[in-house]
Structure 1
């Protein structure tokens, strides 16, 4: 499932491949996009830039035209050299943007809309996004204040709220709570300032570690499976997500899972490392990727 780090990497790669180039051909499976293209052709426009805003990806064309896409659960952008065979069939194609050297193809992207700068400000979701965790202008104080504003809600649900902080998805939700020793079903009102600070800082660090740039001039859209432990071993890349019934990497207690929120999203946690009543101040986290000595033998 694409989260903010995936969208950030996609936007970075698309920008590297497309920015400054003229569109030589535009194709789409969506009638509303095709209608805009028929009336005000995308072909011939210059691609000015591609950027990520949380889980949204925006492609800016000259002449005040912006393509806005959201991947939801299964969408993705691919980049090919012009004429290169696609890895997926045309049945999955939703948008194609061709330039002299590259083809950017949106596969199974469920949300794709054209906007102007003016209409984008009236978009139902994008202008209301919280601080973007991967933005250089990220404000920790604003993020903490937005979390505090949801005092009656469970913290894991609040972390998924894109109007609180933009970018976090279901994997990071569980991983961040674990790293900060916060039970994901605790109410925001029960959290100390130190705990909220840890959640914000850890969210930013974890996502940042998964968008590190690669060396050289190559265009890379995929850098391997998401990691939150800092461990180079692919089998040890996450702390608790997807590990229900397996031993906690810190203490050996079996990891639990329960559905949470309106969307019934899967939430994972360790009942030993994340007890409901433990204060963060009693056992501060020293670093999200710092290995912690196990209490029991044979931890997975």
Structure 2
């Protein structure tokens, strides 16, 4: 789950803030008893992390590759990592990593590298990209210490929008192209957010899971790229190396 989806999750949790939780259950190794009977005071996002602040417990949730959450719509034959029972409604978290965090842990986060944060710093991002001269674009975009919240779907679409081959190295890009890459990462994050809220995200993909390029009509290539070994979808003609 990518950064924009975490922001949406926080918005969808707002109706549950300061409401008493009747019971907390699940398989996660967290203080469920302390959460039962408490309230969710706030929910925040940082990158791909969902941060939940209860009365006496703080949690960090990472949805990994296939994690999800549901509100009043449990998944069949699946045991949630965490279930919050409000009596008239329930929240379920599946296939995610949940860890208890100490008080004030959020102060350790660098909000200036979070693409969805009001504190996002594009100049800092550019400097961090330039510090990785031998890195490929596909790895730099997925670096959570540079673009917190940017995932594989966003990576592929940003590469296409900037006409960059995923295996292009940072040192081979001019300053204007590097600036354009950073700008597009932030712009697309918010575009992703809008499309996801409107439930039209997939229909607006340009290369992700597509067979042909929307510009030249040639076949979209699918290849594992970079040190991170993640799938890249790209057009060899429009995104020349």
Which TM-score applies when normalising by structure 1?
0.73
Tell me what 2:86 maps to.
Answer: 99
Tell me what 1:61 maps to.
Answer: 54
Shift of 1:89: 2.9
Question: CA-to-partner distance for each residue in 1:212-237, whole Å, 9 max, x for gaps?
Answer: 39xxxxxxx9642525xxxxxx3xx2
Tell me what 1:226 maps to.
Answer: 201
Is 1:143 paired with 2:125? yes
Question: Equivalences for 1:161-200 in 2 at 5 Å?
Answer: 161-200=143-182
Shift of 1:264: 2.1
The root-mean-square deviation of aligned C-alpha atoms, in Å, is 2.3
Q: How far apart are the structure 1 equivalents of 2:112 and 2:194?
A: 22
Q: How far apart are the structure 2 equivalents of 1:137 and 1:22?
A: 32
Does structure 1 retain, via aligned residues, the 8 Å contact 2:83–2:90?
A: yes
Tell me what 1:52 maps to.
Answer: 45
Corresponding residue SS for 1:77:
strand
Does structure 2 retain, via aligned residues, the 8 Å contact 1:56–1:68?
A: yes
Q: How far apart are the structure 2 equivalents of 1:129 and 1:151?
A: 24
Is 1:37 paired with 2:32? yes
Q: How far apart are the structure 1 equivalents of 2:185 and 2:58?
A: 29
Larger radius of gyration: 1
Tell me what 1:251 maps to.
Answer: 216
Q: How far apart are the structure 2 equivalents of 1:203 and 1:172?
A: 8
Is 1:270 paired with 2:225? no
Which runs of no fewer than 5 residues in structure 1 stay unpaired? 81-85, 214-220, 228-233, 277-300
Q: How many residues align?
A: 241
Tell me what 1:79 maps to.
Answer: 71
Shift of 1:151: 1.1
Query: Aligned pair in 2 of structure 1 residues 92, 43: CA closer, same or farther (>3 Å)?
Result: closer
Shift of 1:55: 0.7
Does structure 2 retain, via aligned residues, the 8 Å contact 1:130–1:166?
A: no
Q: How far apart are the structure 2 equivalents of 1:136 and 1:120?
A: 15
Which TM-score applies when normalising by structure 2?
0.90
